[in-house]
Structure 1
Amino acid sequence: MSKEERIMNEYYTSDWDIQADYLLDYDVFDKVARFHQSTTFTYKKNQIPKGVRQDLYTWLLENERKLSLPKNYISKVKLNDFKLEQRNSPLNFDNQYIIPFKLLSEILHRSFGADKKSKSRSFPSAGALYPIIVLVLVFDKSKIDGIVDNGVYFYNVYENSLLQIQKWEKNDMEKIANAFYLNEGFPSPIAIGYSIDMRKSLLKYRTKGYRHALIEIGLMAQRLREVLISITNNTFGERCWSGFSDNSLTYYSGLNVRHSPITLVQWFGKRMENHDI
């Protein structure tokens, strides 16, 4: 067996989807897929988003960044305080900054890469199944060193490589912007898309596997946030975004909306001063 064949056998499976189709309970799959669809946005041309009604808006203002304490408790233990240097998520990024290839490589590898020996990653996954697909979404190739096309790239966690699965031409970018309900350009030239491999997430844990997948997305998003703070000395930031047309973005990314829906997008890039939220 050649070295390349050994690596393929050790890290990859070629026909896992055929096996999954045989093993999967499609009643469970349909139930979860329908529920997931109930949580999505659908883009409609010239649609005007509805505003938040006044009483709800008032409640939101009063409760943002607030903690709901228990009304009754037995005792309180005061812990030692430490200096916290946390920065909020940027509203905008420096879109004139060109992200160096070496820095992009380190960000992706430290955030999502797998250890060659243990095959583990820097975040836990139920059953070590890792059903979340990491997608690198490139909106402006001129601002990402080493990237020649706008489009969607599958991140290979074992090789620290990008596999282009969809190319976005110039005339595609308006459709992509519409999927994000954007009128004034993209917040950043690059983002991470988190896609759930529905079949993989449901095979072992059935409906609870969907919960595990959502938890894993949160862990991955936090990991990227911590890596950006660590290796860029907090000069880079990120912003999680769920306000997009789920099916449109998934479709334009070349994925199946039922089998691998994009569930969260995380913009990242160099911070601009005084643009945090």
Structure 2
Amino acid sequence: MNRRNEKQELLVQKRREDDFSNHLQAEVLNNRLLNEVIKMHQETCWISEIMFEYDKNLLEWMGLVEFTDIIPDYYEKSFQFSVEPDFVERSRSCRTFVNDWSIEMDDFGEILRDSFGRFSNTLSKNYPSAGGLYPILPLVYIFNKNVLKGVDIKGCYLFNSTQFELILLKEYSEQSIEEVKKQINPTDSFLFSNIAIGYAIDLKRAITKYRKRGYRYALIEVGAMCQSFRESISKFNNLGDFCFAGFNDNALTYLSGLNPRLAPVALIQWFGEKNDV
């Protein structure tokens, strides 16, 4: 059997396994519980961020607690470490990026592999996942055909962590990019950078085993994934990132080529070359 036929046979076998696993999931998934989790998630969604307003007392409270730690009023004892706080030249989070920056295909492939790829000997990834289920879909948004060398189609992609490939979910025209801008920043309508990572939750997979608790595990995994990505780009001294969840949830998920009810986008991680100006 030549390599091409062997690959086709593996793909056929994978489809059979997927079909069977979907059949089993339909048998064991509690649809009443799924609807409860979906309802709970939808209660956290924004239709438009401009509908969310701060009153005077909330603004005052924010000014008092931002960048502070939570310390209980009463505790038994404390022990002091003989260390000094580290100093950084700038915040770890970067919101301004070089507009005409681009990255080589292989460099980006290494970043995605190190962040979200499976290890060949264990099939695990660089971050933990409850039960090894990995219910979070790692997305790649490309808003400029020059930002990722070798990929000239703008759109939303899924990173295949086994085959190490980008799968186009939805191609973007200039008009659709403008619509994405509106859903990300309704008041200003702009993109932070020309490329970003997205994290979507497969709600069915998340809750089939762990029920409602699976939703909590999924959110924990999103946090672990974005930290894994941050660590992976740290080898490139000029790259920075910025995590953002202030978008219009259902609209952006739909524009990502996904089902807003079953695979909502929970977080976007913008990245690129840091603009130190």
Distance 1:79 1:8, change over 3 A: farther
| Pairing 1:65–2:67 present | yes
Show structure 1 runs of 5+ residues with no match.
Answer: none
Distance 1:149 1:159, change over 3 A: same
Offset from partner CA, 1:129-184 (integer Å, 9 cap, x none): 00001111111122221111111111010121101111011221111111102535
SS in 2 for 1:143: coil
Number of the residue aligned with 1:166: 170
Q: Is the 8 A contact 1:11 1:158 kept in 2?
A: no
Structure 1 residue 48: Cα displacement: 4.5
Q: Is the 8 A contact 2:97 2:274 kept in 1?
A: yes
Q: For residue 262 of structure 1, what is the amino acid of its counterpart? A: V
Q: Is the 8 A contact 1:135 1:155 kept in 2?
A: yes
Distance 1:19 1:71, change over 3 A: same
In the alignment, which of 190, 193, 202 is matched to residue 195 of structure 2?
A: 190
Within 2, Cα distance between the matches of 1:180 and 1:124? 29
Distance 1:107 1:66, change over 3 A: same
Distance 1:48 1:125, change over 3 A: closer
Within 2, Cα distance between the matches of 1:18 and 1:192? 31
Structure 1 residue 51: Cα displacement: 4.0
For residues 27-176 of structure 1, the aligned pairs below 5 Å read 27-43=32-48, 48-81=50-83, 84=86, 87-176=91-180
Q: Is the 8 A contact 2:95 2:241 kept in 1?
A: no
Q: Is the 8 A contact 2:30 2:208 kept in 1?
A: yes
Structure 1 residue 10: Cα displacement: 7.4
In the alignment, which of 258, 261, 265 is matched to residue 264 of structure 2?
A: 261
Within 2, Cα distance between the matches of 1:92 and 1:12? 46
Number of the residue aligned with 2:213: 208
SS in 1 for 2:41: helix
Structure 1 residue 82: Cα displacement: 6.1
Length-normalised TM-score, structure 2: 0.90
Within 1, Cα distance between the matches of 2:145 and 2:83? 44
Show structure 2 runs of 5+ residues with no match.
Answer: none
Q: For residue 76 of structure 1, what is the amino acid of its counterpart? A: S
Within 1, Cα distance between the matches of 2:75 and 2:269? 38
SS in 2 for 1:273: coil
| Pairing 1:273–2:270 present | no
Offset from partner CA, 1:184-240 (integer Å, 9 cap, x none): 5310111111011111111110000000000000100111111122x113x211111
Aligned residues: 269
- My pick for the range that moved more, 27-36 or 17-26, is 17-26
SS in 2 for 1:104: helix
Distance 1:228 1:256, change over 3 A: same
Q: CA RMSD in A?
A: 2.2
- My pick for the range that moved more, 74-83 or 139-148, is 74-83
Within 2, Cα distance between the matches of 1:154 and 1:266? 14
Identity %: 32
| Pairing 1:24–2:26 present | no
Q: Is the 8 A contact 1:140 1:189 kept in 2?
A: yes
Number of the residue aligned with 1:252: 255
Structure 1 residue 102: Cα displacement: 2.2
Structure 1 residue 50: Cα displacement: 4.8
| Pairing 1:223–2:228 present | yes
Within 2, Cα distance between the matches of 1:262 and 1:196? 6
Within 1, Cα distance between the matches of 2:210 and 2:267? 22
Length-normalised TM-score, structure 1: 0.90
Within 2, Cα distance between the matches of 1:200 and 1:49? 32
Q: Is the 8 A contact 2:249 2:266 kept in 1?
A: yes
Within 1, Cα distance between the matches of 2:73 and 2:50? 41
Q: Is the 8 A contact 1:95 1:143 kept in 2?
A: no
